[in-house]
């Protein structure tokens, strides 16, 4: 079992950020990858858990690009 924790002081729907390496890892090991989402950290912290590929439980959007020469 591999666990990734993403935390925010804001609400449940606040976007998360993850690297290409994290994304690829979840794709390679969907049965073993578990995301724990902690939110409302400053008020009354709550949590939910998802497992599998990121594409299965959230809308994935590219936010950075790399150009090489």
List own/partner pairs for 61-66 with CB under 8 A and 24 or more apart: 63/17
CA distances for 18 relative to 44, 56, 69, angstroms: 24, 15, 25
- Overall domain count for the chain: 1
Quick one: pLDDT at residue 63? Answer: 87
59 vs 19: CA distance, rounded Å: 15
8 within domain boundaries: yes
Residue ranges, the chain, pLDDT below 50: none
Furthest-apart CA pair in the chain: how many Å? 48
64 within domain boundaries: no
68 within domain boundaries: no
Quick one: pLDDT at residue 59? Answer: 95
25 within domain boundaries: yes
**Containing structural domain, residue 10:** 2-57
Strands 46-51 and 33-39: antiparallel
Strand, coil or helix: what is 28?
Answer: helix
Quick one: pLDDT at residue 66? Answer: 81
18 within domain boundaries: yes
- Tell me the pTM: 0.86
Quick one: pLDDT at residue 64? Answer: 85
47 within domain boundaries: yes
39 within domain boundaries: yes
């Amino acid at each position: 079992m591999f666990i990734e924790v993403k935390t925010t002081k804001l609400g449940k729907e606040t976007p998360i950020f993850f690297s290409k390496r994290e994304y690829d890892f979840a794709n390679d090991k969907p049965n073993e990858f578990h995301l724990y989402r902690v939110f409302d950290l400053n008020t009354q912290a709550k949590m939910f858990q998802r497992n599998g590929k990121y594409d299965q439980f959230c809308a994935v959007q590219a936010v950075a690009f790399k150009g090489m020469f």
